[in-house]
Chains A and B, each alone.
Chain A
Amino acid sequence: MNKNHRVPSSRSLSAVEVKSKFGAEFRRFSLDRSKPGRFDEFYGLLQHVHRIPNVDLLVGYADVHGDLLPINNDDNYHKAISTAAPLLRLFLQRKEEADYSAFGTDSLTRKKSPAALAAVLLRPDANRKKPPVIISLPKDFRPVSSIIDVDILPETHRRVRLYKHGQEKPLGFYIRDGSSVRVTPQGLEKVPGIFISRLVPGGLAESTGLLAVNDEVLEVNGIEVAGKSLDQVTDMMIANSHNLIITVKPANQRNNVVRNSNSGGGAASGSSGRSSDSGASFYSYSMPGATAITPSHIIQNFRPEEVESDDEDEDLVIEAGGDARHAPRPAAGATASYSMPSLPRYEPHLNLRHSNGAMATSASVGSLSGPDKGLERSLERRNLEEDGTVITL
């Protein structure tokens, strides 16, 4: 794997000051910013400095926006290290006592003070009215859709990003030719347009709630569709299907985002009031296991400068040594890293409402990756059976 290391910028000090809190106890130590190491090493270090070697921990940190975000893999660990400025504040919880609802956007800022946060986090068990509903951690979610560029688009338009990558779910929509009425200096004019004609029940498009039948498609991945034929637009969408960004003019204009409103009121209507394309820690999940676990003889064509648009678009190259056809090394690697010990513990819960809309930023509807991964794995295996050396992403 590890062409994927996001090398922390060397602009800041080489050491990161860490303040780690577990229960009422604080520990302070420092880490080398340029060599943060891996998450499991770090996890071991935390257990060591807190002297709780056999306690399962849930590690969270406060990011620059004051959000409480989890640290549970290399990616978000590195993110946490690289964004710590200069102090990295960690909050450790016992896994069995963890309050998952605390994670998310605004989770810290609204409480304003760390003390209040601590109060939330470390609330004694007696205060709880009912046993906590255990929902999965964000790492087990993958964003499936988001509304983006709200700040630059007219209010009547909506730009929706669908994350098809690594999903078993079909995109699940159809488009058709139609005509729409435009206001021009010459008066009203009927112009041809492309419209969503059908949503497949259970498909990605339908499950997001962001697209609807008769929405007019205006752009596909930033390119206007005006003047293009239905077949051209179809081809453009399919070519971009791993990371499809459609700008639509919703047929139903009542749910539009109203700018300058103070609250994220849009959440109620299924669209987000925030224009962010979500925190980086979320974003990095869009590449699921496969990247992280690709055995070392599989090379990723990685160009850091094009991470944004390209990291879903990497072709898979398999070096076949003389013995590659016989040794199913990729298979072994894949199986090993897919077996994540914690997976079975999380029950699938799709209801995020009780998080006060805090999760609305990017995962409008989350889907558990657990079952998906299972599917993927079986798919993987099927592909592998077909030929010792082929791996499909």
Chain B
Amino acid sequence: MMKFRFRRQGNDPQREKIKQDLFAFNKTVEHGFPNQPSALAYDPKLQLMAIGTKSGAIKVYGAPGVEFTGLHRETATVTQLYFLHGQGRILSLLDDNTLHLWEIGQKEHCSQLEEVRGFTLPGRPGIESTNATRVTVLLPKLSCDLLVVGTEGGGVHFLELPSFTLQNKSLFQDEIMQSSVPEEYKCGKSLGPVESLQEHPQLPDKILIGYSRGLVVLWDLQNRHADNVFLGKQQLESLVWVRTADSFVSSHSDGGYMVWSVSSSTPCTHEPVTATIPYGPFPCKAVNKILWRTTESGAPLVLFSGGMPRASYGDRHCLTILQDSQHVTLDFTSRVIDFFTIHCTDRDKEYDDPSALVVLLEEELVVIDLQTAGWPTIPAPYLAPLHSSAITCSYHISNVPVKLWERVVSAGLQQCPLQTHTNWPIRGGKNLAPDPKQHELLLTGHEDGTVRFWDASGVSLRPLYRLSTANIFQTECDHNDSLTQAGEEEWPPFRKVGCFDPYSDDPRLGIQKICLCKYSGKLVVAGTAGQVVVLYLCDDKSDHMIDVATVDLLQDREGFTWKGHDRLPPKSGSVLFAPGFQAVVLVQCMPPAAVTAVTLHAEWNLIAFGTSHGFGLFDYHRRSPVLARCTLHPNDSLAMEGPLSRVKSLKKSLRQSFRRIRKSRVSGKKRVLVSSPSSKVQEANAQLAEQDAEVTPVQRRIEPRSADDSLSGVVRCLCFADTFLRDGTHHGPTMWAGTNSGCVYAYALDVPSQEKFSEQGVEALLGKEIQLMHRAPVVSIAVLDGRGNPLPEPYEVSRDLAKAPDMQGSHSVLIASEEQFKVFMLPKVSAKTKFKLTAHEGCRVRKVALVNFSSVASEDYSENGLVCLTNLGDIHIFSIPALRPQMRYDCIRKEDISGIASCVFTKTGQGFYLISPSEYERFSLSARVITEPLCQVEVDRPHDPSELSICTTLPPQANGTHKTPSGENKSAGDAEGVFDEMQSPLSSPALDSPNSSADITLDTTGELTMEDVKDFLVTVDEAENNLRNMTEEDGRPPGILIN
């Protein structure tokens, strides 16, 4: 114990310097598709695309490799995004009704995205979610000096850019109503919120204002005068100018669109030129957005989202492309968030001539080539939909040999012949990152039985090849093809686009473990139903039978009946395989529990696999099982329940979620204004719930693990090694297996020489069994050579790719359990060094890897380290074999269990983990090996407002986590104090953001009364009036900023 108290590492300055040169923690880039995207914008001049998300992140993409990320301090949905044309500035509107200005700035030759300032329209925040001054639409003028803001109350306000100074020339509905709207249209009703604002394509002083009720006004900013009024009678959804400016198009909630002609001679237009409901005559859903693009070839291209017949296809997510007689209804698997076309914006040109359509869906980005006949899709070089089927495991291979790389790439190219070869249309910015020195592959296993191969060498994760294992099994969903065939003739002319498919055909197909030999192209993939598939990489297509072998891991253990799922029946007869990885052998574990560990030694032609019942060894060359060993504890009943214990965990998770709901209600209630009797009751209830929580505090039982613990037989790790197991003079092939109960089995293998593979079988003899005293699950086993380095991979030595391991000095084995690391000398298995992580830190090991760290100071210097991710989400680095702690970094939030579970490390000190179902965060632990975006965007900004900016940006954090509470927006104006004063009597003390109101409305949905509605109506007027009073008052400084 004294040892602990005085345990202190000597701070050797020299060692500290070396550590600095070796280790550095950086979160470098996010791969994949942003989770829950909510807004889209495009700058045709800079050719940059921006995507906003529900967590408040903004991601900007240009040419492949050009990406920036910004994160709002408030975790609020980004509802709208706009580029200031060509300036490298982005305007964002959050659903807490705040406006934010972002800038792409230069830092050390690289560009970065920074928030410059924020703004909130003044108003009465008491009834936040239905605020009259809630912003509905924005229009930054092309000239970039003025921002037009449309609100829920129907007012239009004008802000100077980039200072966000409110000009006192707001336009209110009654001004329109009184001056230009004919009496018969008024009917005493308001015009409703502003739905659309569009700048005149030729006259910058004129804007088109569309109100929800259907009225559209062409407003002259200079003269404060309505040039034209269009008396639309259908509820308006969107507006778009026709390039020639002689007409515009409006889309409506009844599923139709109208073309209106604009002429100076008729100030008041009653009827449109044409009105069409494309999918009528039966009731249709709203056309949310419409685009009208002129083409040189004649007929304009009409693109709109929605508008599907309500009854028959109301649930489809569609976007229609219309040109002349051509009509395609793109049928997506997820909601359309927004879309834009890439077209000619040069004012001198006569036509739009769109080249591409970019559609942001909830789960993926689809780009359509509009210049090629048939409108094919263009594969995206980034924003890969990682989660097209849920990711179940991941595996990383660094330094992939060129030969394997090329074969995988060519196999992938042959898979998708339908894509066009048009270049990626979004080409803004310059990628400054050097070309990756080596190829890296990231393999993801998915729930639908596919394995996807990604190019992880650089900043953008690119899909290379997709392998499906479902085709070797008989599943119930094989008859899909005929169904889709029949659907060809239907109206509307649907076309399935996109690859997001959240529905798994059969959960048993799910991939659990992957192991690839990068030198021989042999791959082992193991799944949920105990299937272990051995695949060979083959450049030609093939039609062959698969050899099936069944391995009984229970080994005649009596008294056990498997209650879980059945095995997947393999297809009888031969199966056709495309070029690529082709299944050769299927080993079926019985009982068919999920495979928990798998490993491959291509030089010995052996695979090892483990489940919750035991492990097996299989010679795939001779197609013969070598060994099966049951690891089940006789008292373990849960092991027979199937994939994890459903009963137990469900009960637990239900209880936890109830607790969470209750907690969130309690915290939600605190923000409620205590006024009505009902809310008092609620408050009392909340207090009761709080007390209740105090009566039964969370407590934890302190009890050591016992041999009887459930699922103790689960095989957690397997490894092959050529080492000394039986005596110190003869080394040979060995296989190691570690279980959940802290037991390690080591087998000596008798592998025949290469020439005799076919004649002679492999034999396995149990060499040693080690029972770790603390019984914690064994997470990883690795053998170290005489110099303490990890043994090289199979083929690395025989192909001169790695130094031969030191077979002179004595080998040792590193066993990492959930609680501690231990190095044992071989063959005696005497403990040499150890580190008790849990006893010291209270955290448990989740993932470990042996990593080679090379120094930034010297090309030749490198150290091997043990990298460990704990259940608290922090990463520790230890030296091997001394097991001295070197570094500790916080990496993942400890609550983010799936993030921790998904983490993989590379051999060179990088890592990946899922920050959402669709995104990997890439991080680096090495000071030398870092893959991060380095890019530059040339921007043209008239005057630099950064002098004014007081705003500092926070480094973005994964998962939308914010370290600071929703911060005050720094204002640029000098009138802050004045307005604060004005605002204070109106504002309620306990409200932080309108976002919080979501909780309240959720909780009280049932209790909305007529009074509430009336209150709301009154306050809308009041707010409008307030705003007007303020803006009209003399002497008040115009810059009004609040938060």
Contact = CB atoms under 8 A, between A and B. Distances in A.
Contact of A303 (B702, B831, B843): B831
A390 interface: yes
Given A170-B703, A171-B702, A386-B634, A178 B770 contact: no
A317 to B, nearest CB: 4
Nearest to B632: A386
Contacts of A299: 828-830
Contact of B772 (A221, A223, A231, A315): A315
A389 B633 contact: no
Contacts of B633: 386
A221 B829 CA distance: 27
B704 interface: yes
A386 B614 CA distance: 14
Contacts of A174: 699-702
A324 B746 CA distance: 14
Interface string B366-378: 0000000000000
B831 A315 contact: yes
Nearest to A175: B700
B774 interface: yes
Given A174-B701, A223-B4, A239-B819, A232 B771 contact: no
Contacts of B828: 299
A383 B771 CA distance: 13
A234 interface: yes
Given A239-B836, A240-B839, A299-B828, A317 B702 contact: no
B8 interface: no
A59 B838 CA distance: 44
B831 A301 contact: yes
A225 B839 CA distance: 11
A391 B771 contact: yes
B364 to A, nearest CB: 37
Contacts of B765: 320, 322
A241 B704 contact: yes
Given A171-B704, A242-B773, A301-B829, A235 B699 contact: no
B844 interface: yes
B707 interface: yes
A320 B768 CA distance: 5
B769 A313 contact: no
Contacts of A181: none
Interface in A120-175: 149, 164, 170-175
Contacts of A197: 697, 699
A313 B774 contact: yes
Contacts of B836: 239
Contacts of A170: 703
Nearest to A303: B831
Interface in B733-762: 743
A87 interface: no
Contact of B702 (A222, A228, A241, A314): A241
Contacts of B705: 238
A73 B690 CA distance: 60
B700 A390 contact: no
B838 A178 contact: no
B100 to A, nearest CB: 35
A236 B829 contact: no
Interface in A212-232: 221-223, 225, 228-232
Contacts of A314: 773
A231 B769 contact: no
A221 B1 contact: yes
A346 B163 CA distance: 92
Interface in B766-787: 766-774, 776
B842 A233 contact: yes
Nearest to B704: A241
Interface in B682-720: 697-705, 707
A89 interface: no
B836 to A, nearest CB: 7
B799 interface: no
B3 interface: yes
B1014 interface: no
Given A238-B703, A299-B829, A320 B766 contact: yes
Given A171-B703, A176-B698, A301-B830, A232 B841 contact: yes
Interface residues of A, number: 58
A319 interface: yes
A166 B873 CA distance: 34
A210 to B, nearest CB: 15
Interface in A333-391: 382-383, 386, 389-391
Contacts of B769: 317-318, 320, 389-390
B773 A231 contact: no
A197 B701 CA distance: 9
Contacts of A64: none
B634 to A, nearest CB: 5
Nearest to B747: A320
Contacts of A319: 767-768
Contacts of A230: 698, 700
A325 interface: yes
Contacts of A317: 768-771, 829
Contact of B766 (A173, A223, A324): A324
Nearest to A383: B707
B825 to A, nearest CB: 9
A242 to B, nearest CB: 7
A102 interface: no
A222 B872 contact: no
Interface string A230-272: 1111111111111011000000000000000000000000000
Contacts of A45: none
B840 interface: yes
Contacts of B772: 315
A221 B2 CA distance: 9
A313 B766 CA distance: 24
> Quick one: which of B5, B704, B842 has the most chain A CB within 10 A?
B842
A145 to B, nearest CB: 14
Interface string A284-325: 000000000000000101010000010011111111101011
Contacts of A386: 633-634
Contact of A175 (B699, B707, B820, B872): B699
B770 A316 contact: yes
Nearest to B820: A239
Contacts of B844: 235
Contacts of B843: 232, 235
Interface in B848-867: none
B824 interface: yes
B641 to A, nearest CB: 20
Nearest to A222: B4
A59 B773 CA distance: 35
Nearest to A324: B766
A11 B702 CA distance: 45
A318 B828 CA distance: 10
A221 B4 contact: yes
Nearest to B837: A239
A55 interface: no
A198 interface: yes
A87 B702 CA distance: 47
A149 B1 CA distance: 10
Contact of A232 (B702, B822, B842): B842
A267 B936 CA distance: 77
Nearest to B829: A317
Contacts of B699: 174-176, 197-198
**Top 10 A-B pairs ranked by shortest CB distance?**
A232-B842, A222-B4, A241-B704, A239-B838, A301-B831, A234-B700, A236-B842, A176-B699, A239-B839, A320-B766
15 contacts: A221-B4, A232-B843, A234-B842, A235-B844, A236-B838, A239-B838, A242-B774, A299-B830, A301-B831, A315-B831, A317-B769, A317-B829, A318-B769, A319-B767, A392-B707
Given A315-B772, A386-B633, A389-B769, 9 more contacts: A176-B700, A197-B697, A228-B842, A239-B836, A318-B768, A320-B765, A383-B707, A390-B743, A390-B771
